[in-house]
């Protein structure tokens, strides 16, 4: 199934119902859990559906509504006006909910901050994100990134460039494209790991408080040490399994 087919299938899915056990949704649900971006889209949609359902459930039926309907049934003209009013009110309520939803979905400044970008990239590295291409050939990595219209013209310090490549991937972030280039430092890797150095490259204007200097700034996030710098209109974010001394040797 393509991403579009999965989304079309899951548009009919109702969270908190028997749909979770429906075989018609099984494949789409499984594929959504395997794709990070698709999974976030599905989670957001489920949250909105849950909020809308809760709003309707919390709406109290006005006292005397039944009697009012019966009374207005006997007077067709009055009933017609009441229905028109009810429809307008319902449409207005839906419009408000839709507006609130889209305002809620708009990325705030915090979501586009450097710290938010760093957290997302470290989370990706810690989870051992699957590489699109596994190769130690730098030219093949650049060719793949160029074909995907990602940042293939990345420039890295000589010591990092001399480190063994292990592959790459193209990631989405805030409607932008991020290039992930993976390296192996030569240290023993844990089972299932293929890299211990991860370089992420994104447009500088995609990050609200992007660094301006080409001098790396080091920080600690979870079990990883990170280095951030800017060059050529790009933000470079290097994350590695080690301390600051380990990461500094690549600059």
Cβ neighbors of 182 (< 8 A, separation 6 or more) are: 131, 165, 166, 167, 168, 169, 194, 195, 197, 198, 199
What is the number of domains present in the chain? 2
Please give the pLDDT value at position 99.
46
Do 95 and 183 have their domain in common?
no
The total of other beta-carbon atoms located within 10 Å of residue 83's CB is 12
State whether 134 and 193 are in the same domain: yes
Asked if residue 127 and residue 61 are part of one domain, the reply reads: no
State whether 120 and 215 are in the same domain: yes
Read off φ and ψ for residue 26, nearest 5 degrees. Answer: -55, -50
Residues 113, 142 contacting (CB under 8 angstroms): no
Helix (H) or strand (E) holding 164: strand 164-173
27 shares its domain with 80: yes
Instruction: Profile the chain (251 residues) by mean pLDDT over runs of 10 residues.
Output: 81 80 80 85 86 78 72 70 66 55 44 89 79 94 96 94 95 92 91 90 93 94 91 95 93 93
User: What residues make up the domain containing 54?
Assistant: 3-105
- Three-state DSSP at 226 gives strand
Please indicate, yes or no, whether residues 131 and 30 belong to a single structural domain of this protein. no
Query: Do 207 and 125 fall into the same domain?
Result: yes
Please tell me the predicted confidence (pLDDT) of residue 101: 44
Residue 98 sits in the same domain as residue 35: yes
How confident is the model at residue 78, as a pLDDT? 62
Q: What is the pLDDT of residues 140-155, one digit of tens each?
A: 999 999 999 999 999 9
- Answer yes or no: do 155 and 38 share one domain: no
């Amino acid at each position: 199934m393509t991403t579009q087919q999965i989304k079309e299938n899951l548009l009919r899915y109702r969270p908190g119902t028997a749909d979770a056990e429906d075989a018609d949704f099984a494949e789409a649900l499984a594929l959504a859990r395997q794709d990070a971006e698709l999974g976030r889209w599905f989670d957001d949609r489920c949250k909105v559906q849950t909020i809308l359902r809760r709003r309707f459930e919390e709406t109290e039926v006005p006292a005397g509504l039944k009697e009012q309907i019966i009374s207005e049934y006997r007077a067709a003209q009055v009933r017609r006006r009441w229905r028109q009013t009810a429809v307008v009110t319902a449409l207005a309520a839906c419009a408000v909910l839709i507006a609130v939803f889209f305002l809620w979905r708009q990325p705030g400044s915090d979501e586009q901050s450097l710290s938010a970008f760093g957290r997302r990239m470290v989370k990706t590295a810690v989870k051992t994100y699957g590489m699109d291409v596994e190769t130690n050939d730098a030219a093949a990595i650049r060719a793949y990134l160029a074909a995907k219209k990602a940042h293939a013209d990345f420039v890295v310090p000589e010591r990092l460039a001399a480190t063994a490549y292990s592959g790459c991937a193209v990631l989405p972030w805030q409607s932008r494209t991020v290039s992930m280039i993976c390296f192996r430092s030569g240290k023993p890797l844990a089972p299932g790991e293929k890299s211990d150095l991860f370089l992420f490259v994104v447009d500088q204007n995609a990050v609200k408080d992007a660094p301006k200097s080409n001098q790396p700034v080091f920080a600690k996030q979870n079990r990883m040490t990170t280095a951030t710098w800017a060059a050529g209109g790009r933000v470079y974010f290097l994350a590695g399994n080690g301390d600051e001394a380990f990461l500094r040797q690549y600059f």
